[in-house]
């Protein structure tokens, strides 16, 4: 009788144990965590970032490039009167409006300086995230159509005044402070920018980054190198042209809540990325660098 009671008691404990195991809740799948604010603006300095404005937002951006801080060949009196290029009379401005109909796309138009106009679109392909899916980078795509509206007697056909740029944006936020972005770029000119025996296609590779100093201040930088069309070029007058293919910019960002201010210095005065990446003949001597600033403001058009 004792043996039978022991067997029944053992079976009872087994059933209770199985019931407890069955009642335990299943483990939850890891929640998806998306990386936010890889960069604080749709631009790093001159180049686009992987960031887009929120859906339904219209962004107005003004970017201004001044003259070289101390032009070579200029007299000391003229250069001092130029106030580091801020008061010399030569400046190029980029004015743009872009709208984000979805969180994956934005489209825009711009007055790009030097009588040029641009239309552009940017797409977010991947977003850095952890969880069920582990994606280590954010990926975007940026395409630009540029039209030169200036009268040019040497250009007989209107479509020869067009150029195009396509740029792949690959960014990673390594920590709360550091973000980096790689930017391979291809630019096409309907007419070669110089004389005969030159290519319509110009390649470029770039690197940009942001380092966070505080909640509203960041250091930014960009470096890009033109990959072809900078050595032994023959212009339309038969002259041979050579220049350094490097583009460097350093900047500071200040976020006031309503506006984002970017102040920077770099070896370009051009306002369009097409000219900056494919036609920048300014060397890396610091006296030839130019000051500039960008101001952007976003308005939410959705209710």
Reduced to 3 states (helix: H, G, I; strand: E, B; else coil), residue 192 is coil
Tokens representing 140? 């975007």
* pLDDT score of 248 more than 90: yes
pLDDT band at 24 (very low <50, low <70, confident <90, very high): low
Nearest one of 287, 267, 294 to 84, comparing CA atoms = 287
pLDDT > 90? residue 213: yes
Per-residue DSSP letter, 150: S
Confidence class for position 88, pLDDT limits 50, 70, 90: confident
Closest CA to 191 of 202, 183, 200, 201: 200
> Can you give the pTM of this predicted structure?
0.85
Q: Which residues contact 41 (CB under 8 A, 6 or more apart)?
A: 49, 51, 253, 260, 262, 294, 296
pLDDT in tens, 45-68: 999 999 999 999 999 999 999 988
Of all residues in the chain, what percent carry a pLDDT higher than 70? 85
> Which token pair is 271?
């306002």
Residue 202 main-chain phi, psi, to 5 deg: -125, 125
Determine the straight-line distance between the first and last CA of the chain, rounded to whole angstroms. Answer: 79
Set out the domains of the chain in order of their start, with CATH numbers: 32-300 (2.40.160.40)
Tokens of 141: 């795509």
| Contact between 136 and 124 (Cβ < 8 Å) | no
Give pLDDT, residue 303: 67
Above 50 in pLDDT, residue 136? yes
**Which range has the worst mean pLDDT, 67-76, 101-110, 272-281?**
67-76
Of 268, 279, 295, 296, the C-alpha closest to 92 is 268
For the cut 70, the answer to whether the pLDDT of residue 196 exceeds it is no
Q: What is the pLDDT of residue 190?
A: 87
């Amino acid at each position: 009788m004792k043996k039978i009671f022991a067997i029944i008691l053992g079976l009872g404990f087994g059933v209770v144990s199985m019931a407890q195991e069955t009642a335990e809740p299943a483990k939850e799948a890891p929640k998806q965590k998306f990386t936010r604010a890889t960069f604080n603006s749709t631009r790093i300095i001159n180049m686009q970032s992987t960031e887009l404005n929120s859906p339904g937002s219209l962004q107005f951006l003004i970017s201004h490039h001044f003259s070289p801080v101390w032009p070579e060949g200029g007299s000391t009196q003229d250069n001092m009167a130029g106030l580091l290029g801020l008061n010399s009379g030569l400046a190029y401005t980029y004015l743009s409006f872009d709208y984000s109909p979805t969180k994956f796309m934005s489209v825009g138009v711009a007055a790009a300086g030097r009588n040029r106009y641009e239309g552009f679109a940017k797409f977010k392909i991947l977003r850095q995230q952890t969880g069920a899916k582990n994606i280590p980078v954010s990926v975007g795509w940026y395409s630009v159509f540029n039209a030169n509206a200036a009268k040019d007697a040497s250009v007989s056909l209107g479509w020869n005044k067009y150029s195009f740029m396509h740029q792949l944006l690959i960014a990673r936020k390594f920590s709360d402070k550091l973000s980096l972005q790689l930017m391979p770029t291809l630019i096409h000119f309907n007419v070669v920018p110089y004389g005969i025996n030159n290519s319509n296609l110009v390649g470029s590779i770039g690197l940009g980054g942001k380092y966070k100093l505080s909640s509203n201040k960041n250091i930014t930088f960009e470096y890009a190198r033109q990959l072809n069309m900078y050595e032994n070029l023959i212009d339309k007058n038969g002259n041979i042209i050579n220049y350094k293919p490097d583009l460097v910019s350093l900047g500071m960002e200040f976020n006031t809540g309503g506006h984002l201010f970017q102040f920077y210095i770099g070896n370009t005065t051009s306002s369009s990325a097409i000219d900056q990446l494919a036609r920048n003949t300014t060397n890396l001597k610091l006296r030839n660098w130019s000051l500039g600033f960008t101001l952007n403001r976003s308005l939410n058009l959705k209710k």
